[in-house]
């Protein structure tokens, strides 16, 4: 009886978390199919007529496809740079050297430092480098900003690789770089995939620095583009909801497609 009650409580708790997460998202998507009068008249009802007019209007009102392209470029470049640097750093810090602890502590300290106080220095550096209002400047900031997180995820997984495996590769004649490319990277692939998913979603959804470092639609990301539908002078909520739904779709799709691969690859690594 006690086990049944504990199991029911567990499922009730998990169901509540799922509902809290999914209900606002479902409401937003449903509201994207309503007209403005219908939304304000009955915010929680089902649309009387399901129409994609708000999605078409959102695409016509703002260059969302340009914003989408910019978000893809920024997220892809920033995630790739963070993964590459984090993987090399995690591998280097597996080896003993004089400043090993200092370097590791410096990288991990980035998780505790708030980024808001550094907005002005970051803006000044990006502007002086000539990267203001460019996707490359935004990608550079994102890659540096997410480096501690990427390092933590990859280092945690990489440390699970037995030292005996690396030693066997060295005995077979593999060099320092050969061990990294032929042993570490393949075995750490599930950890790299997990980090890539998390970093890509974080870079895609970031708004603060995207709004700070870009002013032109040619460089602005999709998250900044969505905010243009809600201003102090006029707000079109159904179109904003439609744009937000389109902005959420790629990250949800990417997670749905890649999460199973991460789980499968982790299981395969465990069997090996």
pLDDT at 118 over 90: no
d(CA 157, CA 190): 8
Mean of the per-residue pLDDT values of the chain: 84
Contacts of 155 (CB under 8 A, 6+ apart): 86, 89, 90, 93
Q: How far is CA 201 from CA 52, 173, 206, 248, 272, in A?
A: 26, 39, 9, 10, 30
The answer to whether 212 touches 123, Cβ cutoff 8 Å, is yes
Q: What integer pLDDT is reported at residue 130 of this predicted model?
A: 92
Of the pLDDT bands very low, low, confident and very high (cuts 50, 70, 90), residue 41 is confident
Least confident of 4-13, 18-27, 108-117, 137-146: 4-13
DSSP designation for 118: G
Q: What integer pLDDT is reported at residue 212 of this predicted model?
A: 92
- Domains in the chain, start-ordered, CATH in brackets? 62-228 (1.10.3720.10)
d(CA 119, CA 125): 10
Of the pLDDT bands very low, low, confident and very high (cuts 50, 70, 90), residue 271 is very low
Per residue in 47-59, pLDDT (tens digit) is 888 888 888 888 8
Q: What integer pLDDT is reported at residue 95 of this predicted model?
A: 76
Per residue in 168-221, pLDDT (tens digit) is 888 888 888 888 888 888 888 888 888 888 899 899 999 999 999 998 888 999
Per residue in 123-151, pLDDT (tens digit) is 999 999 999 999 999 999 999 999 998 98
What is the rounded average pLDDT of the residues 250-266? Answer: 69
Q: How far is CA 76 from CA 70, 164, 245, in A?
A: 10, 34, 21
The answer to whether 115 touches 142, Cβ cutoff 8 Å, is no
């Amino acid at each position: 009886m006690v086990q049944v009650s504990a199991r029911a409580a567990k499922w009730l708790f998990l169901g509540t978390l799922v509902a809290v997460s999914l209900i606002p998202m479902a409401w937003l998507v449903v509201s994207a199919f309503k007209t403005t009068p219908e939304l304000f008249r009955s915010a929680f009802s089902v649309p009387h007529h399901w129409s994609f007019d708000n999605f078409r209007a959102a695409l016509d009102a703002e260059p969302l496809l340009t914003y989408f392209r910019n978000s893809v470029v920024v997220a892809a470049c920033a995630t790739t740079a963070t993964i590459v640097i984090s993987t090399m750093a995690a591998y280097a810090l597996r080896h003993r050297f004089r400043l090993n602890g200092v370097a590791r502590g410096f990288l991990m300290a980035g998780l505790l430092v708030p980024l808001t106080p550094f907005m002005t220095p970051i803006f000044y550096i990006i502007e002086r480098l000539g990267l203001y209002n460019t996707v490359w400047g935004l990608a550079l900031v994102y890659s540096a900003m997410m480096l501690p997180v990427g390092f933590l995820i990859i280092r945690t997984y990489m440390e699970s690789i037995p030292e005996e495996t690396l030693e066997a590769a060295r005995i077979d004649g593999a060099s320092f770089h050969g061990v990294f490319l032929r042993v570490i990277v393949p075995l750490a692939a599930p950890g790299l995939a997990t980090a890539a998913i998390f970093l890509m979603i974080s870079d895609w959804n970031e708004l603060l620095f995207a709004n700070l470092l870009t002013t032109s639609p040619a460089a602005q990301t999709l998250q900044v583009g969505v905010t243009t539908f809600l201003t102090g002078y006029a707000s079109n909520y159904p179109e904003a909801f439609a744009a937000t739904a389109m902005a959420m779709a790629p990250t949800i799709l990417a997670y749905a497609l890649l999460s199973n691969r991460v789980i499968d690859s982790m299981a395969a690594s465990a069997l090996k």
